[in-house]
Chains A and B, each alone.
Chain A
C-alpha cells in the first residue's frame, strides 16, 4: 500500500478542543423518568397549567411509542431511566443582568470563543446561551424589544408571553410526531424563543449556543421562531459538549413558523457536539426534530447546516410548503470521521401552488465514518406547478468509510417538476500529489478540496459562521491525512 493511502487512513487524530467541563454549582434532579419527573420539571419552572397539561399528554403518548430503528445508525439501546432530565447551573439569586451570571459560566463561553459580554460582542449578533438544559443569558434582548422583537429563553417566554407560546408550541412539530419529539415535549427544560412582528427585519443575527456540561444529562431544548407578515430573521445555532466516555442524548426540537405573507426565516446550524473518540467511545447522540412551516403566501424558510460533531446524528430539517409560492431550502454539509454516523437530510412537503424547494447536500466521509443522505420530496395533489431541485454529493476520503443516498420522491400532481442529481467522488492520490508538487502540504490539500466541495453550502452561511465552519472542517479533518 502506498503511503498516501495510509495517510488518508490516518485521517483522524485531532483531539476535540471543546472537551472541558466547567465546575459550576448545578441544580439537578435524580436520574430517571416518570410522570412525577415531568411534574417536577414543570413546577421548577413555575409553568402555567397549559404547559404541564401538554407535557403530561406528551409523556403519556411517549410511553405508547417505540424507538425508531429505520435510520442507518447503530448504537446500543438507550436506558432512558439512567439519564438526568433536569440540570441547571444554580443561580446564586435571580438574575437581573449578565453581571450576575456565574463567572465560571461566562468563562466557559469565553473559552468557546463566544463572548456574552455585550461590550465585547461580535457586532450584530445577539446570543442566547444554554448550558445543560437552561438558558443562562440572553444578550441584546432590550435593544431588540424596541422594535417589537422578542428574543428570550423559552422559560421567559412561557412566563411573559404565554399566549404566543400556547398558540404556536407544537403547531409544527406536535408531540405525537415521533419518539424523540414526544420525549422532548415531556421533559424539555429550556431553549430559545423568538418572535418577529409584522414588517420588521431583524437588524442582527440571533444566535443560540448550546452546551452540555453535566454528566449523564440529556439535553432537551426547544426553539420556537415565529415570523409575521414581511418579517425576516436570520438565526444561528452552535453546539459543543465536554468529552465523556458515556454517550449523552441530545433530543432537541426546533419549530419555525413563517406565518405571514413574504415572511422569511433563515436558520443556520454549526453542530460540533463531541463526536466520541477514535474508537467510537463516548460522544453525543444527536436526535433532533427540526421543521418549518411556510404558512404565508410567498414565505420562505431556509435551513443551512454544517454537521461535524456527534457520535450519531439523526436529523431532517424539513419544510412544509403550505402557502402558495412559498419556498423551502436545505443546504447541508455533514462530515463523519472515525466511527461517526450521520443520517441526515430533509423533507420538503409541497402543499400550496407554485411552491418551490431546493436541496443541496454535501456528505464527507473519512476514517470509518458512515454518512447517509435521506430526503423526501412530496408533492401533494393541489400543489400545481410545484418544483424541486435536489443535489446530493458525497466525497470519500480513504476506503473504509461509506456514503449512502436514499432519495424518496412522491408526486401526486403531474404539473410539478422534480429533479435529482447525485454524485460520489473520492479525493484521489493523484490530486493530492498534484498539490504536493506545487508545494502544498497534504493536509492543506485535503482542506482545500473539501472546502471547494462544500462551497455552495458555505455561501449560504452568514459571513462569520462561514469562516468558522471552514476552520471547523479543517480541525475535524486534521490528522486524517499525513
Chain B
C-alpha cells in the first residue's frame, strides 16, 4: 500500500529526514516512536502533502502511484488521512458542514453519489457512538474552543466518517485522559480492516497496549534506526532511547 524508499527531506537548509525506508501493507498497523524532534511529524506532514518541505531524494509510492506528485486534497480523497498532532481551529465553519463537505469530496472522487443532509446525519449518528463523542461538538465551529482531548477525539471521529485507507495518527494519545485513550483506541481498532492500514506515531508504549502494532519503528535523527515488534516498545519504555542510540552508534 505504502512504500517509502530512501526519503530525504528538509526545510530550507535544514535536513530533517535522512533516508527513510518503510513499507506498509494492507491490514497492518505500524507504530513509529522516537525522541522529540526526530522527524516523526515531518514524515507525517510530507506524506499528507503539507507545503514548505523540500524532498531532496527518494520516493513514496501509494498503491503504486507517486504520492508526492499529488495535491494534498487528492491524497485525502485517495484515502490518506492525517490525524493532526495539533488540530487547527476554523472559526465560523460549522463542524457538521465541514465534515459533510469532506465526505462528499471523497465520495465524488470515488464516483459515488453525494450524501444529502439526512443521509449524512445517519452516518454521523452511527460513528458518533463509536467514539462516544459529545453531539454538541458537531454544532460548533471546527475545533473552536474544543479542549485538547476533544480535538484529538474529533480527529478520530473524522477518520471514522471518512474511512481512509491509510490513517496516520500523529500523537493522538497525547492530551487524552486514560478513559478517553481507551475509547479512542477502541475506536481506532474497530476501524481496522484487512484492506486498510494505520501508521501510529506515539511517545508512549501505553497506547500500544490498546492499539496493538504489527511493527514498531524507532525514528532517530531522521532515520529509522530500529524495527521490531510490540516488544521493542516495551524495551524502549524500560531502557529509554539512549539505549538504542548508543547501540546504534556502536553498531554503526
Contact = CB atoms under 8 A, between A and B. Distances in A.
Interface of A: 2-4, 425, 428-431, 433-442, 444, 448-449, 451-453, 455
B178 interface: no
Contacts of A455: 92
A425 B76 contact: no
Select the residue from B82, B99, B142 with max chain A CB neighbours within 10 A. B142
A430 B86 CA distance: 10
B105 interface: yes
A430 B85 CA distance: 12
Contacts of B141: 452
Contacts of B75: 437
Contacts, number: 78
B77 interface: yes
Interface stretch (B46-54, B189-197, B226-234): B46-54
A439 B106 contact: yes
B166 to A, nearest CB: 12
Interface in B180-239: none
A435 B92 CA distance: 14
Given A433-B72, A434-B87, A439-B77, 20 more contacts: A3-B51, A429-B51, A431-B88, A433-B51, A434-B84, A434-B88, A435-B90, A436-B72, A437-B49, A437-B72, A437-B82, A438-B158, A440-B73, A440-B98, A442-B73, A448-B90, A448-B97, A452-B93, A452-B94, A453-B92
Select the residue from B98, B141, B162 with max chain A CB neighbours within 10 A. B98
A156 B162 CA distance: 60
A449 B76 contact: no
A437 B99 CA distance: 12
Given A437-B76, A439-B77, A452 B92 contact: yes
A440 B102 contact: yes
Q: Is the interface of A mostly helix, strand, loop or mixed?
A: helix
A463 B223 CA distance: 57
CB-CB nearest 9 A-B residue pairs: A452-B92, A439-B105, A438-B102, A436-B72, A439-B76, A452-B93, A2-B51, A2-B52, A436-B73
Given A3-B51, A433-B50, A434-B84, A439 B92 contact: no
B248 interface: no
A328 B228 CA distance: 70
B152 to A, nearest CB: 14
Nearest to B45: A433
Interface string B130-143: 00000000000110
Contacts of A431: 88, 90
Interface residues on B, range: 20 to 34
A405 to B, nearest CB: 18
Interface in B103-117: 105-106, 109
A438 B143 CA distance: 14
A88 B142 CA distance: 52
B66 interface: no
A306 to B, nearest CB: 16
Interface of B: 48-52, 71-73, 75-77, 81-82, 84, 87-88, 90-94, 97-99, 101-102, 105-106, 109, 141-142, 158, 162
B33 to A, nearest CB: 23
Nearest to B103: A439
Nearest to A434: B88
A444 B101 contact: yes
Contacts of A453: 91-92
Nearest to B109: A439
A469 to B, nearest CB: 15
Contacts of B77: 439
Given A452-B91, A452-B94, A438 B162 contact: yes
A448 B72 contact: no
Contacts of B51: 2-4, 429, 433
A443 to B, nearest CB: 10
Contacts of A425: 91
26 contacts: A2-B51, A428-B88, A429-B51, A430-B88, A433-B50, A433-B72, A434-B84, A434-B88, A434-B90, A435-B73, A436-B49, A437-B48, A437-B49, A437-B75, A438-B98, A438-B102, A439-B76, A439-B77, A439-B102, A439-B109, A440-B101, A440-B105, A448-B97, A449-B90, A452-B92, A452-B141
A9 to B, nearest CB: 14
Given A429-B51, A439-B106, A448 B98 contact: yes
Contacts of B81: 437
Contacts of A435: 73, 90, 98
Contacts of B97: 448
A451 B97 CA distance: 12
Contacts of A4: 51-52
Contacts of B48: 437
A430 B75 CA distance: 17
B73 A441 contact: yes
A23 to B, nearest CB: 42
A439 B73 contact: yes
Nearest to B72: A436
Contacts of B52: 2, 4
A181 to B, nearest CB: 36
Contact of B92 (A429, A430, A449): A449
A448 B100 CA distance: 12
Nearest to A455: B92
Given A439-B105, A444-B101, A449 B72 contact: no
Nearest to A433: B50
B157 to A, nearest CB: 12
Nearest to A425: B91
Contacts of A433: 50-51, 72
Contacts of B106: 439
A430 B90 CA distance: 10
Select the residue from B90, B94, B102, B158 with max chain A CB neighbours within 10 A. B90
A68 B168 CA distance: 59
Nearest to A442: B73
A442 B76 CA distance: 13
Select the residue from B75, B77, B93, B105 with max chain A CB neighbours within 10 A. B93
Contacts of B84: 434, 437
Contact of A448 (B87, B101, B109, B162): B101
Nearest to B48: A437
Contacts of A451: 92
A442 to B, nearest CB: 8
Given A433-B51, A434-B88, A440-B105, A448 B73 contact: no
A2 B52 CA distance: 5
A431 B81 CA distance: 16
